Homo-oligomer: A and B are copies of this chain.
Amino acid sequence: MQIIYKIMKNDSDTTITGRITRALADRIISGDIGPGTKLRQDHFAEEFGASHVPVREAFRRLEAQGLVVSEPRRGVRVASFDIAEVREVAEMRASLEVLALRHAAPHLTSAILDKAEAINRAGENAPDVRAWEEANKAFHRIILEPCNMPRLMATIDDLHAASARFLFSGFRMEWESPTDQDHRAILRALHEHQFDVAAATLARHVKWIGTKTGAKRHMRAPS
């Protein structure tokens, strides 16, 4: 089980299935392929110069990640989502990231915290949402990783991917300032070994992302 994440990474450089999985996940998360879009296996087989077999395997992985929905004998389409699900993912992230932080806290060195601060600064200067999200993900990951719980981290990663989808597609809130301020508050608390404060701030911070949604209430295929 410890190898899940490593596999997910090595795999995408080694096997065709891995490459396709990563490419499709990227497009779905970035909103390049919108919710409800039908994914035709032969289309992607041709695009990636592969047969339909690895494409289908990639579909199964994306299905497990919650990025696509597969209906038996009716093919695969990009998962739709609504505000209820945005909130659901936010709550799950809050719970699990607090758990991770509790276990990571004893192993957090000031070197790590410094690196986190640097990443946060990079986020503040991000030119676009995409770059900001990248920094945001990195920030959360670097302070949680020391929990040494690979399965937990894998689940958090999946949830983060879902969050990123919401961020990129329609649910765009004003990113930046309030979040980065939260990040600073978390770092401050960690520096002073006030772990409960850090955890509480993290929970509020993650849930806020779920609450502060923008215009559209539902992302679905233009059926």
Question: Which A residues contact B (CB, under 8 angstroms)?
Answer: 1-4, 7, 10-11, 14-15, 17-18, 53, 56-57, 60-61, 63-66, 69-73, 79-81, 85, 88-89, 91-92, 95-96, 98-99, 103, 149-152, 155
Contacts and interface: CB of A to CB of B under 8 A. Distances in A.
A201 to B, nearest CB: 17
A16 to B, nearest CB: 10
A149 B88 contact: yes
A1 B105 CA distance: 33
Contact of A7 (B1, B18, B71): B71
Given A57-B60, A61-B64, A72 B18 contact: yes
A4 to B, nearest CB: 6
Total identical chains: 2
Given A18-B72, A57-B56, A57-B57, A66 B151 contact: yes
Contact of A1 (B15, B57, B80, B149): B80
13 contacts: A1-B66, A1-B69, A1-B80, A3-B69, A4-B66, A7-B63, A7-B72, A15-B73, A53-B53, A61-B63, A89-B151, A91-B103, A95-B95
A89 B2 CA distance: 13
Contacts of A56: 53, 57
A65 B85 CA distance: 21
Nearest to A154: B66
A92 B99 contact: yes
Contact of A92 (B4, B66, B155): B155
